Amino acid sequence: MVFKSLYLILREFFNFIRGIDQALIEESVSALQLEYVELEVAFLTLVLGPLVGVKTVPTLLTLELLEPLRDEVRILASRAPRGRDVLADLMSSLGGT
């Protein structure tokens, strides 16, 4: 009985350490991740502009790129409603006080 709970505690502890380790590795690219997403949004906005009335690239260029970008458009769709509410995201990704 005691053994079992000791084992459980130790296992959780190791999971904890592993988790922290993973967090550290992820930490190493968090700012890059931020830049990546912003660039992606910028690119998609440029390409999809004509479809929403913003004359950016020539219209048929947009249409030709639609198919390969199909999956990525949902990134834009998911972020759009949150629009300007990025202060919180910035604060968590850039490391804190």
Partner 1 sequence: MTSLLEFLQPTLGEPHVVIVLGKGGVGKTSTSILIADELSSSSDTLLVSFDPAKHILEYLDVEEPMRVVRVKDRLYVYQLDIDMAAREVTSRYVNLLNDLLPSLQVLNVDDVVKAFKYMPGVEEEVFLRKLLELYKRREFKYVVIDTPPTGIALRTLILPRLYNMWLEKLIEIRERIVALRYVIARTLGRKYEVDDPALKKLYEMRDEYRFLEASLRDYGRTSYVIVANPEPLPIHEMREVVSFLEGELRVKPKLVVLNKVFPDDVAVRLGVYEQQRRYVDGVRQLPYTSIVISYVSSPPSKLRDIARLRESLYVLRRQP
Partner 2 sequence: MYVLVILLIVLAIYVIAYTYYGRGILERRVVKASPDRLTPAWEKFDGIDYVPANKYVLYGHHFASIAGAGPIIGPAIAMVYGWALPLIWVLFGNIFIGAVHDYLSIMASVRHGGISIMSISENVMGRKAKYIFLAYVWIALILVLAAFISVAASIFVTVPQAATLSVLFMPIALLFGLLVYRTGISVRMATLIALILLVLAFIYALRTPLHLTYEAWVVILAVYGFIAAALPVWYLLQPRDYVNAYLLWAFVAFAVLGALLTAGYALTGPAYTSFKAPGAVIGAIPGTAAGKAMVAYFWPAVPLIIACGALSGFHSIVGSGTTSKQLSSELDALLVGYGAMLTEGAVSSLAVILPIALAWSFTSLEAATGAPISSALSKVGIDVAKTPTILGLPAAERFYTGYGIMQALAWSKILGMGNFETLFTTFRTFAAFALSAFVLTTLDTANRLARFAWSEFFDWLKPIDETAYRFLTNRWVASMVAIAIGAILAYPQISVYVPELERHITVYAYAIVWPAFAGTNQLLAALALLTSALWVYAVLKVRGWISLVIMAPALFLWITVTAALILWLVAIAPGLPLLYKLGAGTMVAITLILDILLIALFVYGLRRAS
Contact residues: partner 1, CB under 8 A: 25-26, 28-29, 32-33, 35-36, 39-40, 42-43, 46-47, 50-51, 57-61, 63-70, 72-73
Residue 70 contacts partner 2 per CB under 8 A: no
* 39 scored as a contact of partner 2 (CB under 8 A): no
Decide: residue 47, CB within 10 A, 0-12 exposed, 13-18 middle, 19+ buried. Answer: buried
Question: What whole-number distance in Å separates Cα of residue 44 and Cα of residue 50?
Answer: 11
Contact residues for partner 2, defined by CB under 8 A = 15-16, 18-20, 22-32, 35, 37, 74-75, 78-79, 82, 84-97
